[in-house]
Structure 1
C-alpha cells in the first residue's frame, strides 16, 4: 500500500472500489423514497439521505457480496434496504431523544415536526420490507426482519436502562447490539447469503459486522466525552446532558465512592444538572480510568472483527474491511 492510499480513510477506499454499485444503490434509494400522494415523504427523507452520511452500512452489504464473488443484481436491493432501515431508525431516534442536530444539520423533527419524522420513518421501514422481498430469499428476509425487531427492542431497552444506575455492562452491550450492531451484522450477513457463500463464511461475516458495530458504538460513546462537535456531528457532552448511561459512565459508577455515587444519582438518575457538572463527570471518569477501560473494550471488539474475516477469500475488499475495523477505534486514540 502506497502512502497516498494509506492516508485515505478505509470507508473512502471502500466507496471508490464500490462506486458503480453505490451509484446504483443511490438511484434505487431516490426512486423508492418517492411518493405519489405524500410529497412530504421524499422531502423529509432527502433531508437525511442527502446529508452527506458515509453510507457505511450499505457499503458493508456490497463489500460482503462482492468479497464472496457475487455478480447478480440483488446486492443493490439489499444495500438500499439496509440504508432505509438505518434512515428510519435515525428519524425515530431524533424524536425520542428530542435531538436538534444530526450530521451537523438541523434534524427533520426540528425542521418539520415529530409526527412527520415518525410517519416517514414508518414509511421507510415499509419500503425496506418491499425491497427485501424482491430478492426472493426467505433467509435474507429472516435476517433483516429479525434485525429490525432487535433494533426496536434495543431502543425500548435503552429507554428503561438509560438513567438507571443499576444498568450493567451486560445490559449496555444488549442495548448496543440492538441499536447499532444488529444492522451492521445483518448488512454483512445478507451480503454473504445473497452471494451463496458457505455457512462458515456467512458466520464470519456476521461476527465481523457484530463486533464492528459494537466497537463503532463504544467509540462514538467515548467521542461524546472527548471529541469535537464537527467530528461527531452533535454537541460534545450530549449523552451526559441527555442522561444516557454509556460505557465509560457505567464503568465509573461501578467504581464510585459514596460522594461520586451521589453525584451520578443527582445528575443521571434524577436529572438535576448544574453548571460544571460535565467537567466533574469527566474528572470522575478520569480518576477511575473509565475512558481508558472503555477504549480497551473498543479495541478488543475491533480486533475480534478483524480476526473474524481472516478466513474469507484473499481480496482487496477483505483488507479494506479489516482496515475499517481498525479505523473506527483509531478515532479515539
Structure 2
C-alpha cells in the first residue's frame, strides 16, 4: 500500500506551500553558510512531522499562515537538534549522507545549528501566538533534557522499561506530541481537543521510536545503520530490556552492563542481539506498538470527523507501525 500518497492527499497543496517556505528559510547568500544549508536541504526526509501539524489543523479547522509558520518553526527546531546531535554523537552520517560535522567540522556544525534554531524562533514569532511560541520553547527544553537524560542513563546501572520510556517520551514522542498540539492550536481547537491530539501524537512518537529500535536488531542496508548500532553507542532498547527482565539471565545481564560501560565487543553485541531474538524481545516490543495503535484508533473514531482526514491519519498511524525504514 502506498501509505505516503494517502497521507498527503488531503493536504497536498498546503504541503507544497510548506516545502517552499521551509526551503526559503534554509537559504542564504553567504558562501560557507549557504553550502551548509544547501547540504541540509538536500537530505530532506518524508516531512512526517509537519504533515502531522497540517493534518491536525485541517481536522480542527483550517490550515492558515499561522499553521505554516508554526510548522516551519517546529521543523527547523528539529533540524537544528539533529545537527547538534550529530556533533554530540560524533556521527558521520545522517540519512545516508554525510552529517554537517563530517562535511565541514564541529565548529561549523554547532554554529549552523544555532543559526537554524534562531530561524525557527523567527518563524514561530510570525504566528503572533504566545501559546505556540511557548510550546516551541518548551519543546526545545524537553528535547535537550531528553538527550542529557539519555547520556546519564548510559552511566546508570539500572536497566528498566520505565527509564526507557522516560527517554523516548522526552525525545521522539515529544516532537510528535508538539506537532499534534500545535496543529490543533493553530486551527483554534478547544483545550480538551488539544489534549486528545497531544495524546495521539505521543502514542505516534512512542510507536515510531520502538519501530526504530526494532530495526537495530536486523541487518538492513536501507535502514542506514548496522545491526547492534544502539548497543555500540551504549543504549539498551525495549527488546533487550524485556529479554533480560523476563529471563533473568546473569551472563547476558553482565554483557548488558558492558554495553553501558562502553566496553562491549562486536561479538558480545551479536550475542545480545541473538539472545534478544530468541527470548521474545522483538515480539514484546511489537505487542507494545499494537497496544498503542489500538489506543490511537480511538482518537480517530471520536475526534476526526472529516472522512478524508480520518483516512489520512489512519494511514499515517499504520505507516508508522508497519514501515520498513
Q: Which residue of 2 aligns with 1:3?
A: none
Which of residues 79, 95, 105 in structure 2 aligns to 1:103? Answer: 95
Contact 1:163-1:245 within 8 A present in 2 as well: no
TM-score (norm 1): 0.90
Query: For the residues of structure 2 that align with 1:81 and 1:209, how far apart are their CA atoms?
Result: 18
Point out where structure 2 has 5 or more consecutive residues left out of the alignment: none
2:34 and 2:15 map into 1 onto residues whose CA distance is: 19
Whether the aligned pair in 1 keeps the contact of 2:61 and 2:187 (CA below 8 Å) is yes
**Correspondence for 1:4:** none
Where in structure 2 are the equivalents of 1:1-333 lying within 5 Å? 7-9=1-3, 11-35=4-28, 38-226=30-218, 228-230=220-222, 232-254=223-245, 255-266=247-258, 268-312=259-303, 313-331=305-323
Distance (Å, rounded) in 2 between the aligned partners of 1:283 and 1:62: 41
3-state SS, counterpart of residue 171 of structure 2: helix
SS of the aligned residue for 1:304 comes to helix
Change (3 A) 1:210 1:42: farther
Secondary structure of 2:216's aligned partner: helix
Runs of 5+ consecutive residues of structure 1 not aligned to the other structure: 1-6
How many pairs does the alignment contain? 322
Judge conservation of contact 2:9–2:312 (CA < 8 Å) in 1: no
Which runs of structure 1 show a deviation greater than 3 angstroms over 4 or more consecutive aligned residues?
A: none
Taking the aligned partners of 1:298 and 1:290, their CA distance within structure 2 comes to: 13
TM-score (norm 2): 0.92
Query: Is the CA contact 2:73–2:121 (under 8 Å) kept in the aligned structure 1?
Result: yes
CA distance in 1, matches of 2:44, 2:23: 14
The 1:280/1:85 distance shift into structure 2, 3 A limit, reads same
| CA-CA distance at 1:71 after TM superposition | 4.4
Question: How far does the alpha carbon of each residue in 1:261-295 deviate from its partner, in whole angstroms, 9 at most, with x for none?
Answer: 222223x0332233422321122212331221111
Deviation of the 1:237 alpha carbon: 2.2
Q: Find the residue that maps to 1:226 and give its secondary structure.
A: coil
The answer to whether the Cα contact below 8 Å between 1:215 and 1:301 also exists between their aligned partners in 2 is yes
| 62-71 or 52-61, larger mean C-alpha shift | 62-71
Q: Check the 8 A contact 2:231/2:269 in 1, yes or no.
A: yes
* Cα distance change on mapping 1:137 and 1:275 into 2, 3 Å: closer
